[in-house]
């Protein structure tokens, strides 16, 4: 009979459980059929009480209570970091993953590390066993993936007994009388035990063999006997064998013995994996109590079990059939379906009473592994347990002794439970929403931080790239500069090379010219020699004929005298003094002969003028030095006045107008040698050229001044530096012939200078023209510097002091 509202007035906790004190009260006041909930021994307050309890509602009837047990790995040295954490409330477990966590609220949670089997039993199971002793019906189911510790929790180990043996001991209370008396509980005294195995959708009687059926006394066993298959009749295994007794120890040993007959197999998940569901049924006939202990096979799927082959896969599928059917039954009851699929599997067929009987309660123990690798199986198990926990016994459940109001009460109870469940879900939803918002805020913060970091990074990269660009540009500029410098260097080298080649060509050209001059000189010398020989012959013939008078031919006489006295091989300057002896009448003739001679010598035409003389010129680079080599006696005869030896140096070339050279002034200007101008300077060269022109243009006057020249010659002989001496001589000649400087007195006077190299005549109308000539890059200076004047002069002694009268 369902509890009346008055009898269940105590507020249920968050799980809808009635406090223990109330339960005791109910127990004593309600009929055996009245519904009541089992009670955990937890003293902690409910963390999530119903916020809006319906005062008219009846306590919800939750046939399934769910507790969690997290296994341990005591034998492992490297324990995996646990992914499961029992929350401080002791009723929920937090599953932590990389992406967050999820809390599952159950009726209680414990880890085997914190609570061993004894403690776990006391905390979560013992109270149900006490109910069985009082005549209640309870089903304890071990549910979870393979290897999660279901069998361990159920049967225990050598060190610690599992729930089966502890329950048996508690029911029989053998050997613990004192404690029993203290708590005031009575012992059941006698139990009947049935051990069944459900494998491959078949029910086997583990206490029986094919050799016989029926009940056996304690101590019976046939280790090698084949298992007996049982049929289901109604909600029970038909003709199942049982053992009975009052001594827990003996019965426990028997159970222990037959439990080993279960089919086990080594899988990838568990070395001794139970391939079957094992059901141990403890009946307490004296009070009508019943305890069903179910160790379910692992809820792994085929792939996870590592099963291969058709038979193996079928086996795993059949095992899973029981688990799947149990899930559907739980869901169906939770949803209030009119039909609950109990008959989908042998397991659910045998468990039907546990769900439908008002006196029957279910304690589902969820076994879980803390290993993160088993995470998905753990979550699946917890989700299943959470759903089972919310099961409310529906109206379809046949209630024995139902009256007219019972359905209304049940309906109210169901509605209240559903309200509770909804409000709980709403609370959880709110909490999750809050967490989600916080997570969103944190995410936004993180994103902002990332954005700022990215901006900083981009800025840093920008700066870095700017610096890199600067460095690259500098490198490029440097390379370009080096290239340009290289090109400039090459160009400079090329220019230098070209200039060098040009200079070499010029030198070669000049050397050729020099060679030409030498050849000409040799020709002249040979001609002179021939001429001399001819003269000698002539003289001889003249002497013989006596028809030719010396007075009548002064030039010939002069030549004869000159070369007659000459030592063989000795070069002599032409004796200008001889011209004094020439008769005036023969002047023209003599001059003509001389002109012809010069023309013959130099190879250039000689143009005669009365006043102006066109001197077969040379380029500016050569000049005629006035060196007179005469016998001292002749000098004494002609020269009356001895001009002191003076070194004439002109610091500055005289202007054109000053070409009227004043010997006195020049002499004064040549006061000291220290004031001498470098003969290589342009002015001095210019002066020398002028002197040449002057000298050539006034050859007549020069001939009259030969005395002075002789003196100059003498002084030049004393000069150590031949070049300097010649220069001085040149200047002195120019300066001494003050009157001889007149030929260019007239600016209109024209002087032609023949270029030795080309034989061209360059017209000079004035000294400015000469400057112009230099400006026209006539290679006066350079050629002058390059031609070996000294040697040339030495080789042209006869030309250096030619004077014509």
- Positions touching ligand ATP (CB under 6 A) are 71-72, 74, 112, 144, 146-152, 157, 270, 272-274, 297-298, 367
Q: For residues 650 and 634, what is the distance between their CA atoms, to the nearest angstrom?
A: 31
Q: Which of 634, 629, 649 is nearest to 734 (CA)?
A: 649
Q: For residues 350 and 236, what is the distance between their CA atoms, to the nearest angstrom?
A: 6
Are the C-beta atoms of 104 and 382 separated by less than 8 Å?
yes
Comparison of 332 and 369: residue with beta carbon closer to ligand ATP: 369
Closest separation in Å from C-beta 6 to ligand ATP: 44
What secondary structure letter does DSSP report for 116? -
Q: Among all residues, whose Cβ is closest to ligand ATP?
A: 149
Comparison of 151 and 209: residue with beta carbon closer to ligand ATP: 151
Q: For residues 361 and 225, what is the distance between their CA atoms, to the nearest angstrom?
A: 35
Closest separation in Å from C-beta 300 to ligand ATP: 8
DSSP letters, 183-223, are: HTPPP---EEEEEEEEETTEEEEEEEETTB-S---TT---T
Comparison of 272 and 434: residue with beta carbon closer to ligand ATP: 272
Comparison of 298 and 322: residue with beta carbon closer to ligand ATP: 298
Helix (H) or strand (E) holding 86: strand 84-86
Comparison of 308 and 489: residue with beta carbon closer to ligand ATP: 308
Closest separation in Å from C-beta 143 to ligand ATP: 9
Closest separation in Å from C-beta 80 to ligand ATP: 14
Task: Quickly count: other Cβ atoms within 10 Å of residue 20's Cβ.
Answer: 15
Q: Which two tokens stand for residue 75?
A: 């034998």
Closest separation in Å from C-beta 13 to ligand ATP: 28
Question: What is the C-alpha end-to-end distance of the chain, expressed in Å?
Answer: 180
Comparison of 71 and 688: residue with beta carbon closer to ligand ATP: 71
Closest separation in Å from C-beta 157 to ligand ATP: 6
Closest separation in Å from C-beta 63 to ligand ATP: 24
Q: Which of 733, 2, 1 is nearest to 413 (CA)?
A: 2
Comparison of 367 and 733: residue with beta carbon closer to ligand ATP: 367
Q: Which of 111, 126, 15 is nearest to 60 (CA)?
A: 15
What secondary structure letter does DSSP report for 473? H
What secondary structure letter does DSSP report for 156? B
Q: What is the 3-state secondary structure (H, E, C) of 729-790?
A: HHHHHHHHCCHHHHHHCCCCCCEEEECCCCCCEEEECCHHHHHHHHHCCCCHHHHHHHCCHH
Closest separation in Å from C-beta 151 to ligand ATP: 3
Comparison of 90 and 149: residue with beta carbon closer to ligand ATP: 149
Q: For residues 94 and 630, what is the distance between their CA atoms, to the nearest angstrom?
A: 141
Comparison of 140 and 767: residue with beta carbon closer to ligand ATP: 140
DSSP letters, 329-380, are: HHHHHHHT-S---GGGSHHHHHHHHHHH-TTEEEEEEEEE---GGGHHHHHH
How many residues does this entry show for the chain?
Answer: 805
Closest separation in Å from C-beta 142 to ligand ATP: 7
Closest separation in Å from C-beta 32 to ligand ATP: 35
Tokens 């051990």, residue located: 195
Comparison of 382 and 687: residue with beta carbon closer to ligand ATP: 382
Comparison of 252 and 267: residue with beta carbon closer to ligand ATP: 267
Comparison of 148 and 354: residue with beta carbon closer to ligand ATP: 148
Comparison of 12 and 144: residue with beta carbon closer to ligand ATP: 144
Q: For residues 514 and 521, what is the distance between their CA atoms, to the nearest angstrom?
A: 10
Are the C-beta atoms of 102 and 94 separated by less than 8 Å?
yes
Radius of gyration of the chain (CA): 74
Closest separation in Å from C-beta 346 to ligand ATP: 18
Q: Which of 290, 20, 347, 23 is nearest to 138 (CA)?
A: 290
Closest separation in Å from C-beta 162 to ligand ATP: 9
Q: For residues 305 and 624, what is the distance between their CA atoms, to the nearest angstrom?
A: 130
Closest separation in Å from C-beta 94 to ligand ATP: 19
């Amino acid at each position: 009979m369902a509890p009346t509202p008055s009898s269940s007035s105590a507020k249920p906790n968050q799980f809808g459980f009635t406090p223990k004190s109330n339960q005791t009260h109910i127990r004593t006041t309600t009929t055996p059929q009245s519904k009541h909930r089992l009670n955990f021994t937890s003293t902690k307050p409910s963390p999530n009480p119903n916020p809006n309890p319906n005062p008219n509602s009846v306590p919800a009837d939750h046939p399934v209570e769910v507790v969690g047990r997290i296994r341990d790995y005591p034998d492992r040295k490297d324990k995996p970091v646990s992914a499961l954490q029992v929350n401080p409330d002791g009723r929920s477990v937090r599953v932590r993953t990389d992406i967050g966590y999820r809390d599952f609220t159950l009726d209680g949670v414990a880890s085997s590390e914190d609570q061993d089997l004894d403690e776990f039993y006391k905390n979560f199971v013992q109270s149900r066993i006490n109910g069985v002793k009082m005549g209640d019906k309870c089903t304890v189911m071990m549910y979870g993936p393979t290897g999660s510790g279901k069998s361990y929790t159920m049967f225990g180990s050598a060190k610690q007994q599992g729930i089966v043996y502890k329950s048996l001991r508690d029911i029989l209370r053998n050997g613990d009388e004192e404690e029993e008396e203290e708590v005031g509980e009575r012992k059941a005294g006698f139990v009947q035990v049935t051990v069944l195995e459900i494998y491959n959708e078949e029910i086997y009687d583990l206490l029986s063999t094919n050799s016989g059926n029926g009940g056996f006394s304690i101590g019976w066993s046939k280790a090698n006997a084949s298992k007996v298959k049982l049929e289901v009749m109604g909600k029970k295994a038909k003709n199942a064998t049982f053992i009975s007794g009052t001594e827990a120890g003996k019965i426990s040993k028997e159970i222990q013995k037959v439990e080993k007959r279960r089919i086990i197999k080594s899988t990838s998940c568990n070395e001794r994996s139970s391939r079957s569901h094992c059901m141990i049924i403890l009946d307490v006939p004296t009070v009508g109590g019943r305890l069903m202990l179910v160790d379910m096979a692992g809820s792994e799927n085929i792939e996870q079990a590592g099963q291969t082959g058709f038979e193996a896969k079928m086996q795993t599928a059949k095992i899973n059939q029981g688990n799947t059917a149990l899930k559907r039954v739980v869901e169906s009851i939770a949803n209030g379906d009119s039909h609950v699929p109990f008959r989908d599997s042998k397991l659910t067929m045998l468990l039907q009473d546990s769900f439908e009987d008002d006196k029957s309660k279910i304690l589902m123990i969820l076994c879980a592994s803390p290993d993160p690798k088993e995470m998905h199986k753990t979550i699946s198990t917890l989700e299943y347990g959470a759903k089972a926990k919310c099961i409310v016994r529906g109206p379809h459940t046949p209630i024995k002794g139902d009256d007219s109001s019972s359905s209304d009460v049940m309906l109210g109870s169901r509605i209240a439970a559903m309200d509770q469940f909804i409000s709980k879900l709403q609370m959880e939803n709110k909490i999750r929403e809050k967490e989600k918002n916080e997570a969103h805020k944190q995410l936004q913060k993180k994103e902002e931080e990332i954005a700022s970091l990215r901006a900083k990074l981009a800025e840093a990269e920008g700066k870095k790239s700017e610096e890199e660009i600067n460095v690259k540009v500098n490198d490029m500029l440097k390379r370009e500069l080096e290239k340009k410098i290289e090109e400039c260097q090459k160009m400079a080298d090329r220019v230098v090379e070209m200039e060098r080649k040009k200079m070499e060509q010029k030198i070669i050209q000049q050397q050729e010219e020099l060679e030409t001059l030498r050849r000409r000189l040799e020709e002249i010398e040979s001609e002179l020699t021939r001429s001399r020989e001819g003269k000698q012959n002539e003289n001889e013939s003249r002497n013989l004929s006596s028809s030719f008078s010396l007075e009548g031919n002064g030039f010939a006489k002069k030549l004869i005298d000159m070369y007659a006295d000459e030592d063989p091989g000795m070069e002599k300057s032409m004796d200008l003094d001889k011209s004094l002896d020439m008769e005036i009448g023969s002047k023209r003739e003599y001059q003509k002969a001389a002109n012809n001679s010069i023309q013959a010598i130099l190879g250039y035409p000689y143009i005669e003028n009365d006043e102006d003389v066109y001197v077969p010129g040379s380029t500016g680079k050569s000049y005629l030095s006035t060196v007179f080599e005469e016998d001292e006696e002749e000098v004494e005869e002609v020269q009356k006045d001895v001009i002191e030896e003076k070194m004439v140096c002109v610091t500055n070339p005289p202007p054109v107008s000053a070409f009227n050279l004043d010997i006195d002034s020049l002499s004064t200007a040549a006061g000291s040698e220290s004031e001498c101008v470098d003969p290589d300077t342009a002015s001095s060269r210019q002066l020398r050229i002028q002197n040449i022109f002057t000298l050539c243009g006034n050859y007549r006057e020069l001939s009259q001044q030969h005395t002075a020249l002789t003196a100059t010659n003498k002084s030049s002989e004393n000069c150590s530096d031949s070049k300097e001496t010649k220069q001085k001589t040149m200047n002195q000649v120019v300066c001494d012939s003050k009157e001889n400087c007149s030929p260019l007195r007239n600016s209109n006077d024209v002087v032609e200078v023949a270029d030795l190299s080309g034989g061209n005549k360059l017209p000079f109308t004035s000294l400015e023209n000469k400057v112009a000539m230099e400006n026209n890059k006539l290679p006066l200076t350079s050629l002058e510097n390059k031609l070996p004047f000294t040697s040339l002069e030495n080789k042209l002694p006869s030309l250096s002091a030619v004077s014509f009268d």
